[in-house]
Structures are given as C-alpha cells and as structure tokens.
Amino acid sequence: MGQYQELRTLNPRGGVKAVTQSEAAAYLRGSLGAEPEPSRGSDLDLLRSAQDSSDPLPLLCLRCRISHALETWLLVTFRAHQRSTGIELEAMASYALDDEGLLTIRTGPNAKEPFTYAQLASMPKGLISPFSAEVLRSYDSALCGLPHWARLKIQSHNELKAYFRQHGLLLISDWALLRNSSPTRVRQACEQHLRSGDTIETLCGLHSRYGPLYDAAKLGHKQATGKASGWQPDLPFLRELAPDQDPFATNERLKAIASAIRRLMTEQATKSLDEAAEAGYEPADPASLSTASSTDKGPSSAELTALINAALQRAMGAHMPDVISAEGRQRDLLRCLWAGWAEGMSNRPLAERCGTSCGTVSKKLRPTEHATTIATAAALELKRQPAFASCGQSMEAAERLVEALRNHLLEPEREGDVAPLRRWIQQYLSNP
C-alpha cells in the first residue's frame, strides 16, 4: 500500500495505525490508473489538481503522504530519546498525526466545510486542525518538497515543543541550528556527513552569508508576529541569499547543511556519552572541607566544624522550606520528589513513584543547585570569621570553600552515613 492512499494516524488504543483511504485509492485509480510512486512530481500533480478543483480527494492523497513523513520524523525522534526522557509516541503523535481522513474540516464550534484547497486557503491565520491541513495551507512548492515542509512545520509546532520541554528536550529548527553553527563546525559537518555535487567552499560560502540575513529576517518576524518561533525562509530571503541560484536549490542546500550538522552533533553526543561512561563519576572529596580554611592560628578543627555545621543548618533552614513547600498544584509532587530524593532514590524510580517524567524530576529537584545556594549562604556567614576572611579577597579561597561546603551537603562523610542535605529533608518532612 502506497503513501498516497494509506493514512498514518493516532491509534486511540496506543501507537500509530495505518488506515487505507478507499476514496483516495479510487481517485488515484480513476485519475492516474494506479497509485504513483512517491515523488515531488506526483506531489505537485496532486497539488495542482487540488488547487484547480473543489474535489477534496487529491488533497486527501497528499494528507496521506504527509502522514508518512510525519510518522518517520516522530519515530526517529521517539527512538532517540524514549529511554532517556520517557517521551511517549502516542503523546507526540497526538500533535502531528491527528488527521482522521475526514472529507470535511471543522471551521467553527458546530460548522464543517468540505476539506478542499480553496477552503484551507480561506481560513484565518493560526494553527488549524488537523495538523496536515496546516502543512498544506502554508506549503509553497517553490521552496521545498512536501515531506520536508511537513518536517519543518512539525519542528516549529509550539505545543509539541512544550511537550518536549517538559521532558527535558529542545526541538531546534534547521534555521536556528544553521545560525548557531560556526564556520568551523559547518566545514567539519560538510566534510564528514554530506555527499553533494557542491564543493565544500560553495556550501561554506552560502552559510557565511546566511547569518546576517537570518538575523534581520528573524527580527522582522518577531516584530510582525510577536513570536520567535515559526519563521521559515521565503522566496525573497532565498533569492537575496543566493541571487544567481534557484531558490528551491538554495533551500535544499541549506537543508543538506543542517542535516549534516545534526549528524555531526549526534555523533559527538554519542562519543561524549561513551567517554563519560568510560571515565565514570568521581565526586569531589568532602573531606577537603576540614582543611579548606585551616590556618596556623585561630580556632581548632573541632571549633571550625561546629561553626560550619551551624552555618549550614541555618542556611538550609532559610532556603529549603520554600523549595519543598511550594503552594498550589505542585505541592504534593514536590514533597513526593524530595522525600524520595532524601531516601537516595534515583530519577527513574522517583518518576515512577511520584507519577511524573524523568525530565520533570530533573527540573523540579536540582539538588546540586540548591546545595550551591545553601553553601554560598553559609560561606557568606562564615566569611565574618577570621579563619574564612580570605574568601572576600581571594577567588580561589571563595570557590574552594563553597565547593567543599556543597560536597559536604551532598555526600556522606562515611559509607552508610546520610548526607546532611538528605538528612535535613528527612527531618523536615517527618515533622507534621
């Protein structure tokens, strides 16, 4: 079954299902004799048919085609991040594969119209449903192919981006990626990951002209729409970028460079993860605290320890209650998360226990950040003691003290002990 008559759509029972669109199949048989091979030419033929008539069927064929491109994108992204972030394919598909193949489109709370190209063109600006309708309405065939356009549109889907952010992921558009890549990275990406008829110099030259034009166009987009996302290069932009080139070809080159950059960064990310796993994690030694501020004269080690512990207790008492006891909907979640963390649970079981995602656990807890804030507050108090006065004048002394205090808060001094911050939270949460 081909891409023009099979619709990939969200399955309410889970996952994505294929639904054959018999009307689309009949249309293809009647107008073309058989379903064509997926190609830009076939896409354009169907698009012209949709534009020239009030028949919703050629558009339905293109909606099927779009659903395949979107599904591929979703699966690649899902597989890459499912384990690390807990994203769900069904949730992702609910934003992109919400087309049920109906031949009418909703135009108001109780109003429907035939799902035709003319109807799409007449609808007011703003995201329309299903998502394939938004892809088709905004598509300009002079800029790029339809599957690529579908991918660009899903990259800038605000609600899907928000879903990803909740899970600790950022959807970065090709255009932002190109802007934020140095000439060195672009050259390396093209050399290693791009097979093209163009020379590296041609591609790097195109990229070097891209940045200033992008900045100006993006500024105009923000002023016009009040939004930072959703910008796509239009024909004037592409013509200005490469005046002597076909804008479609220029867009294809940009797309190829962006894809090469993604491949380079994927490779680098994989390498750095492997290296990190190989290197292992070695926490700083909390024992350094006892020697961090020792002086020849002044308080004994026991006195210093007492001063430090008292300062840390006060700093934890001042900072943590607000962190743990936020009001509102988050209250129960926060208490659940901090209680689990104080027991020593890691993110995944903690997410399961509290009924949330790993990304949310990471974002809500941030124990190292809080430990640093507490350590700095305690250091500010300790600085008033002569033994720690050097922290006001010496950057090294200040950073050493804060690091030692932070490690002391997070790491138990002896095996089997409970780290001070965990212990403080356990005691705080055990009080009614």
Which is nearer to another protein, 81 or 239 (by Cβ)?
81
Cis peptide, bond prior to residue 130, ω within 30 of zero = yes
Instruction: Please give the Cα distance from 106 to 111 (Å, whole number).
Output: 6
In sequence order, the β-bridge partners of residue 16 are: 10
- Report the amino acid identity of residue 381: E
- Min dist. Cβ of residue 234 to another protein (A): 18
Q: Is 277 in the site for another protein (CB under 8 A)?
A: no
Which is nearer to another protein, 29 or 271 (by Cβ)?
271
Q: Is 132 in the site for another protein (CB under 8 A)?
A: no
Pick one of 12, 33, 124, 170: the residue that binds another protein (CB under 8 A). Answer: 170
Round the CA-based radius of gyration of the chain to a whole number and report it: 29
Asked if residue 252 lies in contact with residue 238, where contact means CB atoms within 8 angstroms, the answer is no
Q: Is 138 in the site for another protein (CB under 8 A)?
A: no
Half-sphere exposure of 172 (CA within 13 A, CB side): 15
Which is nearer to another protein, 42 or 356 (by Cβ)?
356
Which is nearer to another protein, 286 or 367 (by Cβ)?
367
Any idea what DSSP says for residue 298? S
Q: Which of residues 287-326 bind another protein (CB under 8 A)?
A: 319, 322
Q: Is 398 in the site for another protein (CB under 8 A)?
A: yes
- Min dist. Cβ of residue 56 to another protein (A): 31
Instruction: Please give the Cα distance from 363 to 275 (Å, whole number).
Output: 25
Pick one of 266, 295, 305, 330: the residue that binds another protein (CB under 8 A). Answer: 266
Q: Which of residues 183-222 bind another protein (CB under 8 A)?
A: 184-185, 190-196, 200, 218, 222
Considering only the C-alpha atoms of the chain, give the largest distance between any 2 of them, rounded to a whole number of Å: 97
| Part in contact with another protein (CB under 8 A); list of ranges 127-135, 182-190, 241-249, 408-416 | 182-190
**Mapping DSSP to helix (H, G, I), strand (E, B) and coil, where does residue 107 land?**
strand
Task: Mention every residue, 6+ apart, whose C-beta is less than 8 A from residue 54.
Answer: 114, 116, 118
Q: Is 364 in the site for another protein (CB under 8 A)?
A: no
Q: Which of residues 23-82 bind another protein (CB under 8 A)?
A: 73, 76-77, 79-81
Q: Is 346 in the site for another protein (CB under 8 A)?
A: no
Element (H, E) at 19: strand 16-20
